[in-house]
Amino acid sequence: MRGWVRVFSYTQPRENIVTYKPWFLRRDSGEWRETTLEEGRAHGKGVVARLADCTDRDQAQRLIGYEIGVDRNRLPVLPPGEYYWKDLIGLQVVNTQGDDFGKVDHLLETGANDVLVVKGDRERLIPFVMKQVIVEVNPDQGRILVDWDKEF
Tens digits of residue pLDDT in 24-47: 999 988 899 999 999 999 998 889
Rounded Cα distance between 48 and 6, Å, is 4
SS3 55: coil
Rounded Cα distance between 139 and 75, Å, is 18
Number of folded domains that form the chain: 2
Structural domain includes residue 51: yes
Residues of the domain holding 51: 4-74
Do 139 and 105 belong together in one domain? Answer: yes
Q: What is the CATH number of the domain that holds 40?
A: 2.40.30.60
Do 51 and 17 belong together in one domain? Answer: yes
How far does the chain reach from its first CA to its final CA, in angstroms?
A: 46
Q: Which residue(s) pair with 124 in the sheet? A: 118
Domain boundary among 74, 102, 118: 74
Sheet holding 67-69, edge to edge: 33-35, 23-26, 67-69
Structural domain includes residue 19: yes
Do 93 and 142 belong together in one domain? Answer: yes
pLDDT over 90, % of the chain: 77
Do 17 and 62 belong together in one domain? Answer: yes
Rounded Cα distance between 95 and 149, Å, is 7
Structural domain includes residue 110: yes
Do 52 and 93 belong together in one domain? Answer: no
Structural domain includes residue 79: no
Structural domain includes residue 151: no
- CB 67, CB 26: distance < 8 Å: yes
What's at 38, amino acid-wise? E
pTM comes to 0.77
Rounded Cα distance between 52 and 108, Å, is 30
Q: Which residues lie below 8 Å from residue 21, measured CB to CB, with a gap of 6+?
A: 36, 37, 70, 74
Give yes or no for a cis peptide into 13 (omega within 30° of 0).
Answer: yes
Q: What is the CATH number of the domain that holds 113?
A: 2.30.30.240
pLDDT digits (tens, 9 = 90+) for 128-143: 999 999 999 999 999 9
